[in-house]
Amino acid sequence: MKKIYFTLILLFSSLPLYSQLFTFNGWTEQNPYPTTRTLNTLAFIDNNTGWAFGLGGIVVKTTNGGVSYIPQYTPDTVNTYDAFVLSPAKVVACGSKGHIFYTTNGGTLWQEANSHTVKTLASIFFIDSTTGFACGDNGTFVKTTDGGINWDSIPTFYNRDLLDIMFINANTGYTVSERNHLLKTTDGGNSWTPNSVPSSDYAVHFINSMTGFVLGTGGGVKRTTDGGITWTVYYSGLGKFDEVHFLNSSTGYFTRETGNFILKTTDGGENYETITSDTKVEKVDYVNDSTGFTVGLNGFMAKTHNGGINWDYISYGTREELFDIYFFNALTGLSCGTGGALLRTTNGGNNWLTVNSGTTTRLAEIYFYNQNTGYISGENGLLIKTTNGGTAWQTLNTGVTGSSLSAASFLNANTGLVAVRNSPFFIKTTNAGNNWFQLTVPFKTGCVKYYNDSTIIAGGVTYFGLPYGKFFKSTNGGLNWTTTFGESIDVSMTIMQFFNDTGYAIRNEPYTNRTFKTTNAGNNWFELNHIRGENNYESQQDIPLDPNFTDLMFVNSTIGFYFADYSPLLKKVVRTTNGGEDWEWHIPFPDIHVPQWGIFFVDANTGYICGRYGMILKTTTGGPVLTNILSQTGSEIPNEFNLSQNFPNPFNPSTKIRFDISHSGLTSLKVYNVLGQEVAILVSERLNAGSYEYTFDGGTLPSGIYFYKLETEEFFQTKKMVLIK
């Protein structure tokens, strides 16, 4: 077999201007472009125009072959798993919780169809402009005869998950399940006959009534030439293939779930050639023999111009894990992370460009003494310095090996300290970092503040059970130290920030974190309250789970933020406006299920967070506040779920929305505009069974038509309301 090597070329020199970016809940996704979310499927109509669909309800459209993108929004933040293009204007897609949505204007507006199911739909297929089919969990099968607007549920009498579907004509179709079955219908889906195949299968495609292919866990490509009675297995030793795409009855492509491998046939599956790649290629859509597109994890998108021999990235920006972010004015900022990744923006994050940091070692914490002079600390004693605002960097000789450095703190342009994590000393310079020497201390260092000529305030970290996780202070330049606050428990003080005599710090231990404050330059510290959380649910009740604080940032002595990781499924930006006496949840970008490490706010409203997969988010509103103003009406338990029409309607500026929950569980009530963009989250928490009323205030919204949607694990319903001012 011919072996072709697949090369990805990162087009740093031709990065597009990110004029259109995804925005949810007041947060805009700035890096990577167009998204950091995993893209599950794609649908292209020619070399230039196509859509990619992914997690959280995002739709990425391009009209120039991936040079730039237009963000589009489904009617809800659902996960999309498959899509089908009926025309340049009409596309139908399906996804989690039975959602089917469609557009008739190229994606300017996506509308939701009634699928008559809440089961996840994995695959969708149309035989013409009106007749289509979708399948999913627990044998779910639905059919439309009006182009995807209305759907009917047809029982398959099969309780296993259906993962792919395709039809040869209006009557004959196939679907595959996770348990060694190929199901066939000859009456348009009214009845199905199971046929056994050699292994569990995930994809099916027939090029005519007799010749077809199934792919699955047994490995290789299974081919039949007798309508599914017998099967021949090709490349059984190459692992699981899970995606098949045919341009015509002769030319097709097969991609493998793991490994960097593509099979191609040009004779309907009689023979194959192998394409070996240097990256993982997942979902692939070819528009002709030469041009194809692929999408995958964390917003990965690429394009081939020669049938799969070479590929170019058409998604941009680093996907390294970013640990810190810093702005020294409203427009200019930096973010750093693994592999020596260093990004810089001069336009408030509209573009993030790669800067040569001079290292491949992880960079962790950014400190700037002024707009020109800054330091970034990292692993293995690494410290780099800039004197021109971050465009060029030099590596300093700290004399430290084997230990990570925390953020620097400088008294003046020449004199500064850096904490050496888990070590009984700081490193100090008196000549702007040209030389460093050790300042020994009686504790393991975590963070430091050079307060004045004689005063140093420090936080310690617990080391092998030794109780150094306390606050310390020196008033003679570090010669002697006193403990100003501490407990004989495992704690680690890792982040500290001061505004004159007022300072804040966090103890960073997974899910046992605390926030501390001093108002007298570290002579005394006291613990602040914080919002507690509950695994898998969003609630502001005081329940027993502490968050994991990944970063703390105060704009001034009273307004501050931290990023709280309550669980893998619950992460929030938390804000105080009164110096930590009270805290409120700010809803971040939806579905932030990946670690977020750094947070920085330029002012009370404009802020950034960064994290895994190169994610950088920005808000100019502080993000909407999640409030708990929902009231329960009555004590009876409803017999069924229901969403009532709002009253009054039309309204100005407020209206009441009532709904019934017959079973307790996760509940969301959201408001969307006519473009399908989410404009308000009214409820996002676990509710007990009961009847509820929410008073919605539309005072900040313009006049127009809006849709409000109630969704639980078992039910969803949408209604229209009109705001007239």
Is residue 679 within 8 Å of 706, Cβ to Cβ? yes
> Given this model, what pLDDT does residue 488 score?
47
Is residue 193 within 8 Å of 181, Cβ to Cβ? no
Higher per-residue pLDDT: 447 or 675: 447
Is residue 284 within 8 Å of 245, Cβ to Cβ? yes
Is residue 357 within 8 Å of 336, Cβ to Cβ? yes
How far CA 599 is from CA of 609, 614, 617, 626, 724, in Å, comes to 4, 14, 10, 19, 38
Q: Would you place residue 125 in the very low, low, confident or very high pLDDT band (cuts 50, 70, 90)?
A: very high
> Given this model, what pLDDT does residue 22 score?
79
Q: Would you place residue 335 in the very low, low, confident or very high pLDDT band (cuts 50, 70, 90)?
A: very high
Q: Model confidence over 406-424: pLDDT tens digits? A: 889 999 999 999 999 888 9
Rounded to an integer, the average pLDDT of 502-523 is 79
Q: Would you place residue 565 in the very low, low, confident or very high pLDDT band (cuts 50, 70, 90)?
A: low
**118-132, 563-577, 637-651: segment of lowest average pLDDT:** 563-577
* pLDDT over threshold 70, residue 595: no
> Given this model, what pLDDT does residue 722 score?
95
* pLDDT over threshold 60, residue 248: yes
Specify the DSSP class assigned to residue 14.
G
> Given this model, what pLDDT does residue 510 score?
53
Higher per-residue pLDDT: 301 or 10: 301
* Alpha-carbon span 643 to 641, nearest angstrom: 7
Strand partners, 429: 416
SS3 141: strand
Is residue 580 within 8 Å of 504, Cβ to Cβ? yes
> Which of 210-219, 459-468, 496-505 holds the top average pLDDT?
496-505
Q: Would you place residue 374 in the very low, low, confident or very high pLDDT band (cuts 50, 70, 90)?
A: very high
Q: Would you place residue 509 in the very low, low, confident or very high pLDDT band (cuts 50, 70, 90)?
A: low
Which residue, 455, 539, 552, 469, is CA-closest to 509? 469
Domains and CATH numbers, the chain: 631-723 (2.60.40.1930)
Cα-Cα-Cα-Cα dihedral sign, residues 366, 369, 373, 375: negative
> Which of 317-326, 633-642, 707-716 holds the top average pLDDT?
317-326
Q: Would you place residue 489 in the very low, low, confident or very high pLDDT band (cuts 50, 70, 90)?
A: very low
> Given this model, what pLDDT does residue 259 score?
62
Which residue, 706, 678, 598, 517, is CA-closest to 75? 678
* Alpha-carbon span 588 to 348, nearest angstrom: 18
Cα-Cα-Cα-Cα dihedral sign, residues 619, 683, 37, 583: positive
Specify the DSSP class assigned to residue 145.
S
SS3 139: helix
SS3 content of the chain, % helix, strand, coil (to 5): 5, 50, 50
Dihedral pair phi/psi, residue 503, rounded to 5°: -135, 160
**Residues across the chain:** 725
In which element (H, E) is residue 303 found? strand 301-304
Cis peptide upstream of residue 648 (ω within 30 degrees of 0): yes
Q: Model confidence over 153-177: pLDDT tens digits? A: 998 888 889 999 999 999 999 999 8
Q: Model confidence over 375-413: pLDDT tens digits? A: 999 999 999 999 999 999 999 999 999 899 988 999 999
Q: Would you place residue 366 in the very low, low, confident or very high pLDDT band (cuts 50, 70, 90)?
A: very high
Q: Would you place residue 668 in the very low, low, confident or very high pLDDT band (cuts 50, 70, 90)?
A: confident
Specify the DSSP class assigned to residue 107.
T
Rounded to an integer, the average pLDDT of 567-578 is 71
Diameter of the chain measured on Cα atoms: 89
* pLDDT over threshold 70, residue 695: yes
How far CA 617 is from CA of 17, 21, 120, 479, in Å, comes to 17, 10, 29, 43
> Given this model, what pLDDT does residue 332 score?
97
> Given this model, what pLDDT does residue 536 score?
33
Look-up: residue for tokens 């030319």? 251
Is residue 262 within 8 Å of 308, Cβ to Cβ? yes
Rounded to an integer, the average pLDDT of 577-602 is 75
> Given this model, what pLDDT does residue 486 score?
62
* pLDDT over threshold 70, residue 264: yes
User: Residue 719, exposed/middle/buried by CB under 10 A (0-12, 13-18, 19+)?
Assistant: middle
**123-127, 227-231, 300-304, 466-470: segment of lowest average pLDDT:** 466-470
Rounded to an integer, the average pLDDT of 540-567 is 68
User: What would the two tokens of residue 554 be?
Assistant: 């105060």
Average per-residue pLDDT for the chain: 85
Which phi-psi region, left, alpha or beta, contains residue 227 (left: φ > 0; alpha: ψ -120 to 50)? left
* Alpha-carbon span 300 to 32, nearest angstrom: 9
* pLDDT over threshold 70, residue 627: no
How far CA 196 is from CA of 200, 236, 257, 383, 494, in Å, comes to 9, 17, 22, 62, 59
How far CA 72 is from CA of 23, 51, 213, 393, 686, in Å, comes to 10, 9, 34, 39, 29
Residue type, 491: V
**154-163, 446-455, 496-505, 630-639: segment of lowest average pLDDT:** 630-639
Q: What is the DSSP string of 182-195?
A: EEEESSTTSS-EEE
SS3 268: coil
* pLDDT over threshold 60, residue 532: no
* pLDDT over threshold 80, residue 293: yes
User: Residue 237, exposed/middle/buried by CB under 10 A (0-12, 13-18, 19+)?
Assistant: exposed
* Alpha-carbon span 318 to 717, nearest angstrom: 39
Rounded to an integer, the average pLDDT of 104-116 is 91
**Number of CB atoms found within 10 A of residue 648's CB:** 11
* pLDDT over threshold 70, residue 305: yes
> Given this model, what pLDDT does residue 594 score?
58
pLDDT over 70, % of the chain: 86
